């Protein structure tokens, strides 16, 4: 799958719970190109869970590892990558991703993210030990700080009102 002879790279960005991994997987099937979830890639390369890395090296240590491994996956040709919610917001990661790939911001309203994160089963170190009210407030505040980074993506899709099927169809349409 090539676009004008250049390797096709798609990087999905957005807050935790926006559906980056789900959309990435489905997009990979649809386009027939490999999918990498940056968190999973980090876990397999480091032989540790994201939570263990946070516990052992702190957030700063995690961000360094995340950047180094982002630079590995984003050099692959013809890939779909979903990155972590924080990836675009550290170092020059967002500018780097824009140079390497078609970046797509899956934008969702705080209330939608809140619902997904409270219902979801994945462990999110940043949310551990918070009450539902605290999670709600944390999402709003963090989203506000992160939005300027996310807004640099080449494409933005408001997925607040979309189900997964729709997210996938619209993302494919966007890249045609």
Residues paired with 15 in a beta bridge? none
CB of 16 to ligand S3P, least distance (A): 4
Angle (CA) 7 1 164, round 5°: 105
Give the residue with the Cβ less far from ligand S3P, 125 or 136. Answer: 125
CB of 97 to ligand S3P, least distance (A): 14
Give the residue with the Cβ less far from ligand S3P, 2 or 111. Answer: 111
24 binds ligand S3P (CB under 6 A): no
Give the residue with the Cβ less far from ligand S3P, 2 or 122. Answer: 122
> Out of 57, 125, 156, 170, which residue is the one contacting ligand S3P (CB under 6 A)?
125
User: Which pair of structure tokens corresponds to residue 108?
Assistant: 């969702």
Cβ(49)–Cβ(123) under 8 Å?
yes
Cβ(82)–Cβ(20) under 8 Å?
yes
Measure the CA–CA gap between 74 and 96, rounded to whole angstroms.
Answer: 9
Strands 9-13 and 102-107: parallel
Give the residue with the Cβ less far from ligand S3P, 40 or 77. Answer: 40
85 binds ligand S3P (CB under 6 A): yes
User: Which pair of structure tokens corresponds to residue 156?
Assistant: 């933005």
- Kindly list the residues in this chain that would bind ligand S3P in the complex (CB under 6 A): 16, 39, 50, 84-86, 124-126
């Amino acid at each position: 799958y090539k676009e004008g002879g250049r390797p096709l790279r798609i990087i999905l960005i957005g807050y935790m719970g926006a559906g980056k991994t789900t959309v990435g997987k489905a997009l990979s099937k649809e386009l027939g190109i490999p999918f990498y979830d940056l968190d999973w890639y980090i876990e397999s390369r480091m032989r540790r869970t994201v939570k263990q890395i946070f516990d052992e090296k702190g957030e700063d240590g995690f961000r360094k590892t995340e950047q180094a491994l982002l630079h590995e996956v984003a050099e692959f040709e013809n890939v779909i990558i979903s990155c972590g919610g924080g990836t675009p917001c550290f170092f020059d990661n967002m500018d780097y991703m824009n140079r390497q790939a078609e970046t797509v911001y899956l934008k969702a309203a705080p209330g939608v993210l809140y619902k997904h994160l409270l219902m979801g089963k994945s462990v999110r170190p940043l949310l551990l030990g918070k009450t539902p009210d605290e999670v709600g407030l944390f999402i709003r505040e963090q989203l506000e700080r992160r939005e300027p980074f996310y807004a640099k993506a080449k494409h933005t899709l408001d997925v607040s009102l979309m189900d997964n099927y729709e997210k996938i169809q619209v993302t494919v349409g966007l890249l045609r």
